[in-house]
Structure 1
């Protein structure tokens, strides 16, 4: 299921970008932004390009400015996907960086946040990260709300066990989660009266648009910012 769109428009990684800083959280190098005294945290789970992507860190800073403690762990241990490495195409890279391992690695991060006094955690996943967030959302013990942005590897069956409020933000042009699949997600979630859900398909954008947009493209920035606003509204409603 990892197609060309999964890796399109790679960001220029920058370890020093952002208003926050990197520290160890739950054993992982993690970009953190916002007040460490906040009782509300948002876990951002990146796409295959990892936690040094500038637009991702910019979004973490925006989430922090809304009053949350934003944490972006390096689930790839310094080994994000490198599209120019012909010896490790995406399918080979994924063998070393499976989503289930990401889910297991997220647990100590959540434990570390809880141990420092955080009372509620939300999680947003992008592409690869969406599958990790889906696994977290199958138990209300981990997170209180979830947002998926242009998910990869997520299936209808994943939502049968889902336990927390979920917002799914998808693209009109997306081979990994096309609108028809998102409609199936929406129908299944609508049948679960105990789980609040929201599904939105953004027109004229492609997979990856929320964090891999061109900052010089006014329309792309506007679409990304609309999605960012939607996810902040969701977390403001359910992570409190």
Structure 2
């Protein structure tokens, strides 16, 4: 899928406002970004969690805490958008004005190349700050999944990476991956043909990849669009993060 093509599911829903959740970690500045830090700071393993376009939402913070607890890894969630995620009122993108605002956001604050540079800067500074870390992973939600795909090719500084409900699938990126990659699809992360092609590329690129399709879940079920007051979403949200944790425990 070309970078200019948006998955209709990405454009359809706003984030879900959830109930009260008390984070288990804390915030600190890393590479100039306010970064949520959770898990043991003395761990030898670390994961950079890259959020979706809605930024530091409660569901993503809760996912980071769950991932840290299950892996005993240090998990970092940098605020790449510096407190200014996409405006909720552009969803659904049903007018030209909303589409224009979303396009501006995606080509400025959410530019993928700049995001890759920011992730690498976070990793470099965090490597000095948390000197016991020996292996690094990266996991992304929708927009963040595109970023993790881009940092998993030749010359990667990560040992394993992955995504849930990935955004903007590009089969050639899956073909070029040089590390194990975990891909958890929802039922609507592209056309069936696009998801099938991406799956085939991951299964044939020579890495120990994990691919699964959550056919009963909507795009965003592990990120800001997770409805944690819905029993089915909670069950699959927890299953997804537990599956990701098992993947990183195996490969980091």
TM-score greater than 0.5 by the shorter chain: yes
1:89 Cα offset (Å): 2.7
Indicate the residue corresponding to 1:64 in structure 2. 68
Q: 1:223 to 1:168 in 2, by over 3 A?
A: same
Cα gap change, 1:180/1:4 in structure 2, threshold over 3 Å: closer, same or farther? closer
Deviations 1:30-74 (A, max 9, x none): 0111111111111100100012x0010001111121201010001
Q: Matched residue of 1:10: which SS?
A: coil
| Structure 1: gaps of 5 or more residues | none
Judged with a 3 Å threshold, the aligned counterparts in structure 2 of structure 1 residues 148 and 24 are, in CA distance, closer, same or farther, namely: same
Give the 3 Å change call, closer, same or farther, for CA 230–140 of structure 1 in structure 2. farther
Decide which structure has greater strand share.
1
1:15-30 to structure 2, matched below 5 A, reads: 17-30=22-35
TM-aligned CA distance change 1:196 to 1:63, over 3 Å: same
Q: Decide whether aligned partners of structure 1 residues 111 and 13 sit closer, same or farther in structure 2, where only a CA change above 3 A counts.
A: farther
Whether the 8 Å contact between 2:7 and 2:190 is mirrored in structure 1 is no
Q: Deviations over 1:78-98 (max 9, x none)?
A: 210012266763112112121
Does 2:114 correspond to 1:101?
yes
Q: Using the TM superposition, give the Cα deviation of residue 136 of structure 1 relative to its aligned residue in structure 2, in angstroms.
A: 1.2
Kindly indicate whether structure 1 or structure 2 has the higher relative contact order, using CA contacts under 8 Å at least 6 residues apart: 2
- Residues 136/121 of structure 1: CA separation in 2 closer, same or farther (3 Å cut): same
CA contact (8 A) 1:209 1:220 kept: yes
Residue 160 of structure 1 deviates from its aligned partner by 2.4
3-state DSSP class of the match of 1:32? strand
C-alpha distance in 2 between matches for 1:114 and 1:177: 35
Q: 1:126 aligns with which of 141, 155, 159?
A: 141
Q: Distance in 2 between matches of 1:142 and 1:11?
A: 34
Give the Cα separation in 2 of the matches to 1:69 and 1:139: 25
Residue 221 (structure 1) aligns with: 234
Where do 5+ consecutive residues of structure 2 fail to align?
91-96
After TM superposition, the score normalised by the length of structure 1 is 0.90
Q: 1:207 aligns with which of 212, 219, 237?
A: 219
Corresponding position: 1:147 with 2:167: no
How many residue pairs were aligned? Answer: 234
Partner SS state of residue 184, structure 2: strand
Cα distance per residue 1:181-204 (max 9 Å; x no partner): 2221221222222x1112111121
